[in-house]
Structure 1
Amino acid sequence: MLYTISQRFYFDAAHTLQREIETVGSRRIHGHTYHAEVSVSGPRDPENGMVLDLGFLRLRLEGVREQLDHHFLDEVPNLGIPTLENLCTFIATQLADIRPPVSRVRVWRDAIGDACVLDVP
């Protein structure tokens, strides 16, 4: 059997964005509350009954959160242009060594209804 577990976190951050529409507001420094959910899929370990200890996943996500929370995303190393897509990729990359591996990353902004999902092959 294959199980999927997940853990959520949030962070507040500012950024700018060069766009073809909504250019005035996007080009100015502005901020959002972002939410992220990371999922890990795999078999249940017969000894402990877990795919991955959620405490371990929470600890790793806190490290990712520290890199993003109350930061200017334009300046976060290895993030690139601060899009939802790049945030998904950044989070997945920061957790690339977790076993079983990350299977999905979702980043969204409740206030404006935007979301992005990265399904990791």
Structure 2
Amino acid sequence: MQFTIHQRFFFDAAHTLDRAIETESSRRIHGHTYHAEVSITGPRHEGSGMVSDLGYLRQRLDQLREQLDHRFLDEVEGLGKPTLENLSLFIATALADLQPAPSRVRVWREGIGDGCVLDLTP
């Protein structure tokens, strides 16, 4: 039996993008409130009754939030171009050492209705 647990966090950040559409507004520094959800899938451990301790996951997400919150994403080391796809991958990579590792990372900007899901299941 497999269970999937989730934890969410949010951060406010600015960025620029070089795009073929909406070019002028995208190239200017602008900001968003980003939401992220990390999912972990695995069996329930007999001793704890949990897939993973969500308290530990919250600690790790707090560390990630510090790297991203109120930052200029163009300058975050290891992120690359500040796209939703790269943010999803950045979060997954930062948490890859968790046991079990994340099975899914979702990043979205609720204010404008867009988002990205990175499915990490084999």
Q: TM-score range by the shorter chain?
A: over 0.9
Aligned length: 121
Match of 1:29 in 2: 29
What percent identity do the matched residue pairs reach? 70
Q: Which runs of 5+ in 2 are unaligned?
A: none
Return the alpha-carbon distance in structure 2 between the equivalents of residues 64 and 104 of structure 1: 16
**TM-score, structure 1 normalization:** 0.99
Q: How far off is 1:3 after superposition?
A: 0.2
Match of 1:73 in 2: 73
Match of 1:16 in 2: 16
Q: How far off is 1:6 after superposition?
A: 0.4
**TM-score, structure 2 normalization:** 0.98
Q: How far off is 1:30 after superposition?
A: 0.2
Measured against aligned partners, the alpha-carbon deviations of 1:51-85 in whole angstroms (never above 9, x if no partner) come to 00000000000011110000000000000000000
Q: Structure 1: which amino acid aligns with 2:116?
A: C
Q: CA RMSD in A?
A: 0.4
Return the alpha-carbon distance in structure 2 between the equivalents of residues 111 and 31 of structure 1: 11
Q: Which runs of 5+ in 1 are unaligned?
A: none
Return the alpha-carbon distance in structure 1 between the equivalents of residues 18 and 101 of structure 2: 33
Local SS of the residue matching 2:71: coil
